[in-house]
Amino acid sequence: MTAIARSRALPSSLRLTMSYLVLTVGAVIILIPFIWMVSTSLKPPTELFIYPPRLFPTVIRWQNYLEAPSASFIPLRLAVWNSLLFAIPVAFFDVLSSAIVAFGFARLRFRGSNVLFFIVLSTMMLPPQVTMIPLFILFSRLGWVNTYLPLVVQALFGWNYAIFLLRQFFASIPEELDNAARIDGCGWGGIFLRIHLPLAKAALGIVAILSFTGSWSEYLRPLIYLKNPLLWPLALALQTFQGGKTNRWEYLMVMSILLTIPPLVLFFVAQRRYIQGIVISGVKG
Amino acid sequence: MQKVQESLLERGAGRTGQASKRIGVARRTKRQQQEERIGWLFVSPFVIGFVLFTVGPMLVSFVLSFTDASMLKPAVFVGLENYTTLFSTDEIRSLFWRTLYNTSYYVLISVPLGMALGFGMAILLNQKLRGQGIYRTLFYLPSIIPPVAVSLLWVWIFHQEFGLLNAALRVVGIDGPAWLTSTTWAKPALILVSLWGAGGGLLVFLAGLQGVSTDLYDAAKVDGAGAWSRFWRVTIPMMSPTLFFVLVTSIISSFQVFVTALIMTNGGPANATLMYVLYLYRLAFVQFRMGPASALAWAYFVIIMGFAGLLFATGRAWVYYESDLLGGKKQ
């Protein structure tokens, strides 16, 4: 009992101070690579290869941000456009199709719905690489290589994470609202469109953001399907710098920062709900 | 997740209740039939997509795995040859065992370490701290950066002479290795990058910890339990579903490591970082040997499902379920 009393007596202020200390050290370790990224992007070439390296540049060279995009083999504007060209339709269709499917699971009673929902959950554990080869053969037979269709078409059929997330959300909407709408003459479609979709705006927004950032960052499928570099999204176009063997790390970091800005902004805009979305689905989009 | 199960139960109970109680059977059944049809209509996009893009392709890839399919000529049936070649220990014929070793090494170190870091930080954060939200955001920040940018950044950090890491090591008198071109250090380097992104798990852990009822801690305190035993007797059992959930999803997702291995080392040096999916990518989309690649993909599926099955089987022994089905989502 005395031992316990002592351990409890350990001043909680000391414990808090220790916690702050450990957390702050952790946060600094996490942040240093970011600082290095930004500082490299602002360094003149002469400060890049000095020994020992400096964390902060002595001269700040903003011109890097103007020069890097034009030094790229694929013009920055084209690469950004390419990214948007498939990321926006994918986000749109992901939201739409997943909301429809999620509503079916949340509200309608039909035989097999439990089994089917279990299948939705199981597909989350299935690595996409397992179906990658036959899908490539299929899409290339259809003549879809060098188009964005292979990247977009699957979004028409629902995204498992989003179905799960939205199903949870729809299920939390009180059924009294459905009944009220039914009395007003709404069918299932009306209940979905007039009650559930408007109430789920925030959740739909999060699905759109997670889907968009996922496509924006995606690497493997664009690499497989887009053989023509002029079609490459920014995430892929970044490669051409490294391939240049120019050792222009300041330019490479500028481009990496430009690639990071959209997901970062979206994260901060919707931070609270973004985190909720990740916690509910348990994984990042 | 709790809600899923509850509503599943409700629904099951509701159905039997309806069957026995309803009197206006005919009308009811008609309405039910209609609801059933409309229900299937709503979920049909998923059903069609599942058949078209999951079941179909898996069957096709199973068939392909017994052929010498390539993109150039018609496929010929070769029996088990792809599999016997794949499992050959001769590295000129197949790098399967090498990639399996590399990937397991990566998964078995990065997942436990990443989880321990994430859980530890989450426990420290789960106190009455000022700036909790700021710390949480900072820890999650690396997970937002696109993997390509992460990889390029770390190539530069790992630079032997001018990189940040070796500069830091020099301060404490260590002469850092040539991380990415050393057969010894390339794998640990990739693990280090994955640990930088361990904040994703932290979010889930923190949410789980915040869901543990304070009554339990109070009760334990009244019974005279110290901080240490409260941690082992309350926190760990209550968090075990969340820990289990994160364990399963992290193993599956880190088994898929691809972008870092491709961009940072391209599988080198001397195949030291040739990961499973990178090998799959090379066979299928660089060499266009779709037959052997399909065999590799199926082996991958079996390995992942085997891992998951093993975890679920052992999970029964150590995961404490208060009421929920799979994860520890209390909301």
Cβ–Cβ gap B161/A264 under 8 Å:
no
pLDDT, chain A, mean: 87
Q: What's the pLDDT tens digit per position in B112-143?
A: 999 999 999 999 998 888 888 899 899 999 99
B156 and A CB contact within 8 Å? yes
* Under 8 Å between Cβ of B150 and B262: no
Q: Domain range spanning residue B195?
A: 81-325
Residues 174-203 of B with CB under 8 A from A: 196, 199-200, 203
Portion 225-264 of B in contact with A at CB < 8 A: 225-228, 245-246, 248-249, 252-253, 255-256, 258-259, 263
Residue B195 falls inside a structural domain: yes
- Of B230, B283, B233, give the one whose Cα is nearest residue B99: B283
Q: List the one residue out of A227, A233, A110, A49 whose CA is nearest residue B41.
A: A110
3-state class (DSSP) for residue B247: helix
Q: What φ, ψ does residue B77 adopt, rounded to 5°? A: -70, 130
To the nearest whole angstrom, how far is the Cα of B195 from the nearest Cα of chain A?
10
CA angle (B328, B329, B331) in 5-degree steps:
145
- If asked whether residues B160 and B12 sit together in one domain, one would say no
Residue B77 bridge partners (DSSP): B67
Residues of B in contact with A252 (CB under 8 A): 152, 156
Count of CA atoms in the C-beta half-sphere (13 A) of B147: 21
Both B122 and B220 in one domain: the answer is yes
pLDDT tens-digit readout, A262-271: 999 999 988 8
Residues B111 and B164 both lie in one domain:
yes
Q: Is the domain of B109 the same as that of B41?
A: no
In a domain, B15, yes or no: yes
Residue B331 maps to a domain: no
Could you read off the pLDDT of B77-121 as tens digits, one per residue? 888 888 988 888 887 788 999 999 999 999 999 999 999 999 999
Q: Which of B38, B64, B90 is the last residue of a domain?
A: B64
Does any domain span residue B208?
yes
Residues B142 and B283 in one domain: yes
Same domain for B276 and B307? yes
* Residues in a beta bridge with A49: none
What is the model's pLDDT at position A241? Answer: 66
Tell me the chain B residues in contact with residue A34 when contact means C-beta distances shorter than 8 Å. Answer: 141
Number of Cβ pairs < 8 A linking chain A and chain B:
276
Residue B271 region by backbone torsions, left for phi larger than 0, else alpha for psi between -120 and 50, else beta: left
Q: A66, A167 in Cβ contact below 8 A? A: no
Mean pLDDT value across residues A163-174: 90
> Does residue B144 share a domain with residue B235?
yes
Last residue of a domain, one of B32, B64, B96: B64
Please indicate if any CB of chain B lies within 8 Å of the CB of A263: yes
Pair B88, B173 in one domain: yes
One domain for residues B141 and B22 = no
Say yes or no: B158 and B14 in one domain: no
Q: Could you give the CA distance from residue B271 to residue B129 in angstroms, rounded to a whole number?
A: 46
Residue B85 maps to which CATH number? 1.10.3720.10
Decide if B158 touches A, using CB distance below 8 A. Answer: no
Query: Is B159 found in the same domain as B43?
Result: no
Query: Is position B301 within any domain?
Result: yes
Measured CA to CA, the distance from residue A163 to residue B46 in angstroms comes to: 9
The residue among A134, A157, A139 whose CA lies nearest residue A149 is A139
Q: How many domains are contained in chain B?
A: 2
Nearest-angstrom CA–CA distance, B327 and B245: 5
Residue type, A125: M
Residues B95 and B242 in one domain: yes
In this prediction, the answer to ipTM > 0.90 reads: no
Chain B residues in contact with A4 by the CB 8 A cut-off are 224-226
Contact B264, B258 (CB under 8 A): no
Q: For residue B73, is it within any domain?
A: no
**Which among B64, B94, B110 is the end of a domain?**
B64
pLDDT digits (tens, 9 = 90+) for B178-230: 899 999 999 999 999 999 988 888 888 988 888 888 888 888 888 888 888 88
Residues of chain B neighbouring A40 (CB-CB closer than 8 A) = 156
- Put simply, whether A57 touches B (Cβ < 8 Å) is no
Domain assignment present for residue B71? The answer is no
Spatial separation of the C-alpha atoms in residues A127 and B297, rounded to whole Å: 10
Q: Say if B70 falls within a structural domain.
A: no
